[in-house]
Every structure is written in structure tokens, then in C-alpha cells.
Structure 1
Amino acid sequence: MSETGKSVIRPADIALDAHWSPKVVGQVNNHLIKVAKLEGEFVWHQHDDADEMFLIVAGHLRMQYEDGDVHLGPGDIHVVPKGTPHNPVADAECRVVLIEPPSTLHTGEKITPLTRSLADQTG
């Protein structure tokens, strides 16, 4: 809490156990705010019913799309449109903030060893 009694979140300071395992740190209306550290390649997936927003806090992220890549750095915001196949790749560790509805599945409809349930992300 800040001196005014309002919550302050510092994504770079949040302890995260594993790469690709988001942690829910807050909520805005009906969307969750998640923080994650990423390194390596994730998995090609899509979210059929929701956009996905990435804010790069530290490091760099490459978002792969079927028609080319988008390169992101600290302070960049990128929205993956719903229904769009994508694959996040971080050549070195980076930190991101994600904003998405609670119904958004971590790896879309694909179940992989990297899949984390909402319960895993809030625990």
C-alpha cells in the first residue's frame, strides 16, 4: 500500500517462481492483471473469445505471427487480437504485464506442460 492507502503494484519487484507462469496481482473491472517472466519459446496458440494485452516491463519479447513478427521492448504495449494464432518468444528473460478476462485460458485451447490454470495463477 502507498501512503494514501491505495494499492501500488511494481511488476519488476514481484517474486515469480517460474518462466511462463503468470501471477494474478490485481483486477480492473472484469479483467485480471497478471505479471509474468518469460524466457525461451512458448507455444503457438490463440484465444478465440478475447484480445490479449502485453505491456513489456523489462527485456524484449518477439511476438510471432503467421505473417511475420512484432518486436517489443520496455514500455511497449501490444494487443493480440482475439482469434489470432501467436507465439511469444523471449531470447533472454523479460517481464510482462498481461490484462485479460478471467476466462482466457493460458495456452488457448492447447494443453501443454506450460499450461497454468487460473487457480495456479492466483495461488
Structure 2
Amino acid sequence: MKLNKVNVTAAFSAFSEYWSPRIGGDINDSQIKFAKFSGTFNWHHHDHEDELFFVVKGTLRMKLHAENGGDILIEEGEYLIVPKGTEHCPEAVTDEVHCLLLEPKTTVNTGNVVNERTRTNLERI
């Protein structure tokens, strides 16, 4: 098997759509995904999957209900793990946020909500 390194900047340059993650690689039963955010997503949760949001560029606000500690700002170089079952709503504070996601392969981007932003067949970078 040939190993390939990934340039994160080049990977983010390969697409422009917001809220439409791209698969960057597989790690056991999980995937690394590249996602660009702008504006506010929808409130949702994942019944069975934890998610890691690592901000590469910009500032992300993870909106959370008070019982989960309230909103958390995630700056460049920081990450947040959202445990399964936790209702959350990502919001780009800056015009554009570049975010690496680490989550199980079964994770649907909109969780328990199905709408026009739901992506089930993700492209690979």
C-alpha cells in the first residue's frame, strides 16, 4: 500500500461549498472530513456518534443548551469534542471557517434532522 501525505491547505482549496463535508481519509471505523462553514447550521444531535471539530481557519461558535454549559468559541488551532446525544448548532463567527472533523463513518452531517443540508454520499478529496 502506498502512503500519501495530505496538505490541509490544498485540500480546503479543492472545494468551495459550505456545510458539505469532504472525506479526507479513513482511520479504522472513522473518517477525517474537511468542511467549510459560513453562517449558522441547524440544531441537531447524533444518537450514536461523538464528533471532533478542529478549527484550522476562522472562529467557530458551537451553540449548546445551558445544561451542556452554553456556547463555546473554538479558535484556530483548537478543537471541541461533542459527545453523542448532545444537541448542538455550529455557527461560523468569521465569514468562513475551515474545520477538520473526526467522526465515525456512519455519521450523517445533520444527525437526527433530515433537510436540504443533509449529505449522505460524500465526495473524497
TM-score calculated relative to the size of structure 2: 0.88
CA distance in 1, matches of 2:100, 2:28: 16
The match for 2:4 is 7
- Bigger proportion of residues as strand: 1
CA distance in 1, matches of 2:21, 2:122: 8
**8 A Cα contact 1:12 1:58, kept in partner:** no
TM-score calculated relative to the size of structure 1: 0.89
The match for 2:88 is 86
- 5 Å-filtered alignment, 1:56-67, equals 56-67=55-66
| Structure 1: stretches of 5+ with no match in the other structure | none
CA distance in 2, matches of 1:74, 1:62: 12
Superposition deviation, residue 115 in structure 1: 0.9
Q: Which of 88, 93, 106 is equivalent to 1:103?
A: 106
Which amino acid in the other structure matches residue 4 of structure 2? Answer: S
| Structure 2: stretches of 5+ with no match in the other structure | none
CA distance in 1, matches of 2:43, 2:123: 20
Residue aligned with 1:13, SS: helix
CA distance in 2, matches of 1:122, 1:21: 11
**8 A Cα contact 1:16 1:36, kept in partner:** no
**8 A Cα contact 1:12 1:57, kept in partner:** no
Sequence identity (%): 37
Superposition deviation, residue 106 in structure 1: 1.1
RMSD of the TM alignment (CA)?
A: 1.4
